[in-house]
Every structure is written in C-alpha cells, then in structure tokens.
Structure 1
Amino acid sequence: MTESASVCVPRIGDPAPDFEAETTHGILRLEDFRGSWLVLFSHPADFTPVCASELIAFAGVRDTLRKSGCELLGLSVDSIFSHIAWVRSLEEKFGVVIDFPLIADTTGEMARRYGMTMPAESATEPARVVFVIDDRQFIRAFMAYPMTTGRNVEEIMRLVAALQATDAHGVATPAGWKPGEGVLAPPPRTQAMAEERAKAAGPSCPDWYFCKRELS
C-alpha cells in the first residue's frame, strides 16, 4: 500500500480521534473541549505568508466563535518555540493577538491521526485541513485546502452556525444559509405527510418536499 493510500481521514459522524498535545497554552487534551464545539485546523508552517494571513483571520473571528460556544485550535509540525516566536511576531508586526492555542505536533502523529497530511503535496507538512467537532466530540464536518490557498474563515463560521441550528431545531439549512434566514423543514416520510404538505403549497412551500420556515 502506498503512503498516500494509507492516510485515513476521520469521517463525518465518527468520534474525534483522542489527543494529548503540547500547545502554546500548555498541555491540552481533546477532553478539555468537551461541552463546547471546536474548530481544529492545521497549517503547513510557521512564518509563511498564507499561514500568517489565516491566523490573523482566525484571530479576527475568535470572539464571535467563542460567543457561540465554539473554540479554536491550530496545529502544525513546528516546535513550541517556533509557535511562540511566531505569535509574538504577529503581534509585533501586525498588531494581532493570537489568543487561541497552537499545537506543536513535532512528530506529525496527530496530523496523521486526523488525516491532515497529503503526501503528494508534502511528506512532512500538513495541508490546510479544518475539522468541526461538536460538543459531544463527534466529527461534524471537514474540509481541506492546498498549501497555496488560504481558507475563508467566514465560511467556517457559517458552517458552525448551520450545524448548531440543525442540532437545536431539527431542521436543515439551504445553500448559502446565514443566521437569521429561513431554514428547511425535514421532507415528509410518508405519502400522507406529502399530501398534507402539497395542500399547504405557497411561497414558502413551492412543492411537497421543499418547505422553508423561520426559526422561532
């Protein structure tokens, strides 16, 4: 089996792989985040331009995420000393305080466990992978970007909000949904329910399987 074929990414609905890691905020474990949502993201390397732009962007939304019960946690294979120096440099040069922890995964073990390594891109550095982990510590979503392309943190925030709305209200969210917009009612599961929906057809329910409603 080739190295690339052996990489296993945790799938949606799987328990998040456990970890204990050295971070810029001390030793942290997955269990430390139980009861809150978590955005776990990897970046290839400290002191690189795309990664710097991403950390600055994540710092800009950190307070908003935290108000929604979601924490941020970054990861790369750089040393803890490199992380500390980089965080200090970002504050000095850009005026941005990175007040969320960064994991120093120097052996690459956690990156491999989470399927963050993409051998076709780099044999040692993780790609730009994002995992959204819920408050019960299950994987709810993940996405990956190549090393050349920075992530859109607004989309990550939207994704977290959509998942939380789904859990809280038992609904689904349409394409491009944002908080405050209408959501989608679950489709009927029986012919009788479909007939009932069809009778209620209107602007918010153009067909039996597609009905929008507002969140209360």
Structure 2
Amino acid sequence: MTLQLGDTVPNFTQATNEGEITFYDWAGDSWVVLFSHPADYTPVCTTELGEVSKLKPEFEKRNAKVIALSVDGAESHKGWIGDINETQNTTVNYPIIADEDQKVSDLYGMIHPKANAKLTVRTVFVIDPSKKLRLTITYPPSTGRNFAEILRTIDSLQLTDKYSVATPVNWQDGEDVVVSPAIPTEEAKKKFPKGVNEIKSYLRMTPQPNK
C-alpha cells in the first residue's frame, strides 16, 4: 500500500512495549508522529529514540503524540529501551509498536524491496487529528533524523491550517509568513492588520498572525 498526503491512514491493533493498542483509539484527537525503525538494537535508531523521549514535552505542547515502530517483539523492545535509557541519558516514555508480523509495515508502505525487502525503512509519518496523512519523510539507514525539523513542520501545518498563509524557506515559529496567493492584496491588508509587504504580486509577506 502506498499512502499519499491527504489519505486517511489505516487503523490497526498491535502489541507495544506498553501493551496492545488500537491506533485510532490511542491517537484520539491528537496529532501523531509515527516513526519506523528497521530493528531493535540499531545504533542510529538508539540515538533517535532517546532524542524523541527528551523532546516529548515539545510534542505535547503541540497536541502531538509520538509512537515508534520496529519489526521486533515487545520483549525485545523492553531490553532495547534499557540500552536507550542508559546510553542516551533519558527515559523512553512512549510506545514502540511490535510489528513482528509486519502488518503495520505493509499497511503503511514501510517495506521498500529495493532498499531491503526484510526491513522497514526509516519513515516519519505526521498524522492530523482527523487521521489524515500530512507529511512523510523517509531517511536512509545511515542518516539520523532531525526531530527539530519534525517539530517545525508541525508548527507550520498547524499555523497554515488556521490562517490563509504558507511558511517560507527555513521558517521558524515567530517569523514572517507568506500570504496565500488566493487572497487579493487589498483583502489581505484587511485580513492581516499587522501589515502586508508586497514584494511581488505573487509574493507577499506578513507577520505571523498568531504572535
């Protein structure tokens, strides 16, 4: 199955290190960051799971839950978590899906045969409260993920869902944003009372509306 942006992600029931979960029930009305790993006891992923546990309060500020996936079993996950906590100086505080039968991997298209037919690729899925897929980023095994970038994209998605704006290159929360091309300039000036800077007719900037 190939999931594309805007698709409703599939529900599933699967074991985790925190017990069995049904994904939709677990997600509730939150945003979700689901990130997959090829297997337990892998070095790059060990650093990633540690970082996500440290960043969990930042995800919670954005009404986002985090959940990992590996094709190993729940007992294996518990042993690996001990290593993560020890080596990364943290406490893993979120579920890791035990996808031994690769049911979730297949549902979400995490198996890339040309990369490795037996292992999940390292993909990040950002899912909104209506269970729509809003972002995917797939990394090779040798490159650790940048979870600060995942937080940045959630900030952008939540902002642009609420206001008629887009976020420009390298945007960070609090910086100027792009006015939607669909809004005429005179209307934009009324809609964005902080001001509209018309650089080109199609490129207009305004201070972030919710700051």
User: What is the TM-score of this pair, normalised by structure 1?
Assistant: 0.88
- What is the aligned-residue identity percentage? 36
**Structure 1 segment 29-178 matched on structure 2, within 5 A:** 29-31=22-24, 32-178=26-172
Structure 1 consecutive aligned stretches of length 4 or more whose deviation exceeds 4 Å:
194-197
Counterpart residue number, 1:19:
12
Structure 2: runs of 5+ lacking an equivalent: 189-194
Equivalent pair of 2:47/2:84 in contact (CA under 8 Å): no
Pairwise CA RMSD of aligned residues?
Answer: 1.9
Query: What's the CA shift string for 1:71-113, capped at 9, x where partnerless?
Result: 1000010111110111122223332111011000001111111
User: What is the TM-score of this pair, normalised by structure 2?
Assistant: 0.90
The CA deviation at 1:203 is: 8.1
Counterpart residue number, 1:207:
200
Q: Name the SS for the 2:165 alignment partner.
A: coil
Equivalent pair of 1:194/1:209 in contact (CA under 8 Å): no
Structure 1: runs of 5+ lacking an equivalent: 1-7
Distance 1:194 1:72 in 2: 39
Q: From the superposition, tell whether residues 37 and 138 of structure 1 become closer, same or farther in structure 2 (CA, over 3 Å).
A: same
Q: From the superposition, tell whether residues 196 and 203 of structure 1 become closer, same or farther in structure 2 (CA, over 3 Å).
A: closer
How many correspondences in the alignment? 203
